[in-house]
Amino acid sequence: MKSPSVVGILGGMGPAAGADFARLFVQACAAHLQALGLPVSDQSFPEHWLAQVPVPDRTAALDAPHAGRAGAHQPLDPMLQALGRLAALGATTVAVACNTAHAWHGLLQQRFPQIEVLHVAHEVAHDLRAQGVREVGLLATAGTYRAGLYDGVLRDAGIACHLPTEAERERLMHGIYHGVKVNDLALARDCFEPVARALAERHGLSTLILGCTEIPLALPAVPGHPRLRCVDPAWVLARALARRAYAGFREERPMLAA
Amino acid sequence: MKSPSVVGILGGMGPAAGADFARLFVQACAAHLQALGLPVSDQSFPEHWLAQVPVPDRTAALDAPHAGRAGAHQPLDPMLQALGRLAALGATTVAVACNTAHAWHGLLQQRFPQIEVLHVAHEVAHDLRAQGVREVGLLATAGTYRAGLYDGVLRDAGIACHLPTEAERERLMHGIYHGVKVNDLALARDCFEPVARALAERHGLSTLILGCTEIPLALPAVPGHPRLRCVDPAWVLARALARRAYAGFREERPMLAA
pLDDT digits (tens, 9 = 90+) for A112-121: 999 999 999 9
Contact present, B199 and B228 (Cβ < 8 Å): no
pLDDT for residue B257: 40
Residue B230 Ramachandran class (φ > 0 left, ψ -120 to 50 alpha, else beta): beta
Task: Using alpha carbons, select from A50, A231, A244 the residue that is nearest to residue B47.
Answer: A50
Sheet holding B207-210, edge to edge: B160-162, B135-139, B207-210, B229-231
pLDDT for residue B69: 52
A187 vs A180: CA distance, rounded Å: 8
Radius of gyration of chain B, Cα coordinates, nearest whole angstrom: 18
| Residue range B129-179, pLDDT digits in tens | 999 999 999 999 999 999 999 999 999 999 999 999 999 999 999 999 999
Q: At what angle do helices B15-35 and A15-35 cross, to 10 degrees?
A: 170
Residues lower than pLDDT 70 in chain B: 1, 65-73, 250-258
pLDDT for residue A257: 41
Instruction: Calculate ∠ Cα A68-A72-A76, nearest 5°.
Output: 125
pLDDT for residue A81: 97
Which residues, at least 6 apart from A18, have a Cβ–Cβ distance to it below 8 Å?
Answer: A9, A11, A12, A50, A52, A97, A98, B22, B26
A128 vs A122: CA distance, rounded Å: 10
Residue B122 near chain A (CB below 8 Å): no
- Residue A45: its chain B contacts at CB < 8 A? 12, 14-15, 52, 54
**Are A49 and B47 a contacting pair at CB < 8 A?**
no
Ordered domains of chain B (ranges, CATH): 7-119+237-257 (3.40.50.1860), 121-233 (3.40.50.1860)
Q: How many residues does chain B have?
A: 258
**Residue % of chain B over a pLDDT of 90:** 83
Residue B75: closest C-alpha in chain A: A43
- Residue B30: its chain A contacts at CB < 8 A? 182-183
Residue of A6, A42, A81 for testing the chain B interface, max B β-carbons within 10 Å: A42
pLDDT for residue A181: 84
pLDDT for residue B72: 62
**Are B55 and A47 a contacting pair at CB < 8 A?**
no
Task: Using alpha carbons, select from B9, B93, B4 the residue that is nearest to residue B47.
Answer: B4
A43 three-class SS: helix
Task: Using alpha carbons, select from A195, A219, A193, A196 the residue that is nearest to residue A207.
Answer: A196
Average pLDDT, chain A: 92
Closest residue to A57, CB basis, from B23, B30, B42 = B42
A103 vs A193: CA distance, rounded Å: 26
**Are A54 and B45 a contacting pair at CB < 8 A?**
yes
Cα within 13 Å of Cα(B71), Cβ side: 15
Residue A61 near chain B (CB below 8 Å): no
pLDDT for residue A254: 44
Residue A39: closest C-alpha in chain B: B182
A51 vs A191: CA distance, rounded Å: 29
Residue of A23, A52, A235 for testing the chain B interface, max B β-carbons within 10 Å: A52
A60 vs A74: CA distance, rounded Å: 10
One-letter amino acid identity for A49?
A: W
A170 vs A164: CA distance, rounded Å: 10
A3 vs A249: CA distance, rounded Å: 6
Residue B29: closest C-alpha in chain A: A15
Task: Using alpha carbons, select from B241, B219, B238 the residue that is nearest to residue B230.
Answer: B219
Residues lower than pLDDT 70 in chain A: 1, 65-73, 250-258
Neighbours of A204 (CB within 10 A): 8
Residue A9: closest C-alpha in chain B: B50
Beta-ladder partners of B49: A51, B8
- Residue A42: its chain B contacts at CB < 8 A? 12-15, 54-55, 57, 181
Q: What is the dihedral of CA A51, A54, A60, A61, to 10 degrees?
A: -70
| Residue range B37-60, pLDDT digits in tens | 999 999 999 999 999 999 999 988
